Amino acid sequence: MLVIRHGAFGDLIQCSGALADLRAFHHDARITLLTEPAYRTLMQRCPHVNAVITDARLPLRRLREQLALRRRLREQGFDFVYDLQNSDRTALYRRLFLPGIPWSRDTGTVAAGEPDVVRYQAQLTAAGVPVVHTCEPDVGWMADDATALLDAAGVRRPYIVLIPGSAARHPHKRWPHYAELAAALCERGHEVVTAPGPDELELARSIPGHTLTGPDGYLNWFQLAGALRQAAFVIGNDTGPSHLAACLGAPGLALFGPHTTPRRTGILRPHFDAVAVPDLNALSVEEVLARIEPYLTQAG
């Protein structure tokens, strides 16, 4: 059986619940995930899949690579495909790569503004799959024990994690006042931690508190998940690590500009809220502090 979900990072986090439901329903099946090369190591750890095949989503005119992917997929002998990507590209794969195989796609019954997990719920229900975990993905399987990492960095518990960055191609998602927020939190006696990705190392150096880094200069996914899972509170942009924190059960707040709605991304949880504003630059530190004030006492 094949499941298709290319990415990005936050999208794979959001589909973890659907993968859990597919595993429970197809408990004896060999489940293979088709995703992007950047997420091979991540998804090889996922307990709901048996194997990972990568697809770089090269231009379709790259005929040699497309034929190689088609050959590899056909060699697997799949008897069913769950297309959680639901893109024009995967529609072509259905016609050109794996014709004649039963294929589950978006039912078209879910409004465009709904989160992906609601679309997955409709899609799996239509395919006869009982839905238990889809709408509440849990990625605890991703988290390493971060105790040694935090101790080595001198991080006292409890601590607050700030996620000040986003992918470099999405600078409009970055709230620009994390340095001022960190300074205010430190003045109040809170332990502040940032865990920058490869696009955010320079940004993190300007923020007071502890910066967690790994051998490559930044934490891998499993170290990051471990640090987020132990956090007393998380404040971040609309970016993969914020979605990761929400699906790990960490309490937190995400900061959104006008690019999308918090509901559409699926980040909202009973313990994880969001604030959406027309202009992130105009969102003040005082407004964010007021929003998280009820949690600060619990955070230490």
Q: Give the pLDDT score at 204.
A: 86
Tokens representing residue 49 in the block: 């899949």
Q: pLDDT band for position 230 (50/70/90)?
A: very high
Task: Find the length of the chain.
Answer: 300
Domain ranges of the chain: 2-138, 141-299
Closest CA to 105 of 80, 140, 136: 80
Among the ranges given (65-74, 114-123, 166-175, 233-242), the one the predictor scored with the smallest mean pLDDT: 166-175
Q: What is 123-161 written as a DSSP string? A: HHHHTT---SSTTS---GGGPPP-HHHHHHTT--SSEEE
Q: pLDDT band for position 169 (50/70/90)?
A: confident
- What would the pLDDT profile of 8-44 be if each residue is shown by its tens digit? 899 999 999 999 999 999 999 999 999 999 999 999 9
Q: Give the pLDDT score at 298.
A: 67
Q: pLDDT band for position 199 (50/70/90)?
A: confident
CATH code matching the domain that covers 2-138, chosen among 3.90.1170.50, 3.40.50.300, 3.30.300.160, 3.40.50.2000: 3.40.50.2000
The residue-averaged pLDDT of 42-61 equals 97
Tokens representing residue 6 in the block: 């290319």
Q: Which fold has domain 141-299?
A: Rossmann fold (3.40.50)
CA gap 92, 89 in Å, rounded: 5
CA gap 245, 256 in Å, rounded: 16
Provide Rg for the chain, Cα atoms. Answer: 20
Of all residues in the chain, the percent with pLDDT exceeding 90 is: 87
* Sheet with strand 252-256: strands edge to edge: 210-211, 191-194, 159-163, 233-237, 252-256, 272-276
Tokens representing residue 147 in the block: 């105790």
Q: How many CB atoms lie within 10 A of CB 198?
A: 11
Q: Are 129 and 29 in contact (CB under 8 A)?
A: no
Q: Give the pLDDT score at 7.
A: 85
Asked if pLDDT for residue 200 goes beyond 90, the answer is no
Q: pLDDT band for position 297 (50/70/90)?
A: confident
pLDDT, the chain, mean:
94
| SS3 label, residue 33 | strand
Residues paired with 233 in a beta bridge: 160
Q: Give the pLDDT score at 98.
A: 97
Q: How many CB atoms lie within 10 A of CB 50?
A: 14
CA gap 296, 190 in Å, rounded: 8
How many Cα atoms occupy the beta-carbon half-sphere of 38 within 13 Å? 11
pTM for this prediction = 0.92
Asked if pLDDT for residue 157 goes beyond 70, the answer is yes
Q: Are 239 and 260 in contact (CB under 8 A)?
A: no
Residues paired with 2 in a beta bridge: 32, 81
Q: Give the pLDDT score at 299.
A: 59
Q: Give the pLDDT score at 197.
A: 83
Q: 2-138 and 141-299 share one CATH topology?
A: yes
Asked if pLDDT for residue 167 goes beyond 80, the answer is no
Asked if pLDDT for residue 250 goes beyond 80, the answer is yes
CA gap 46, 149 in Å, rounded: 22
Q: Are 294 and 252 in contact (CB under 8 A)?
A: no
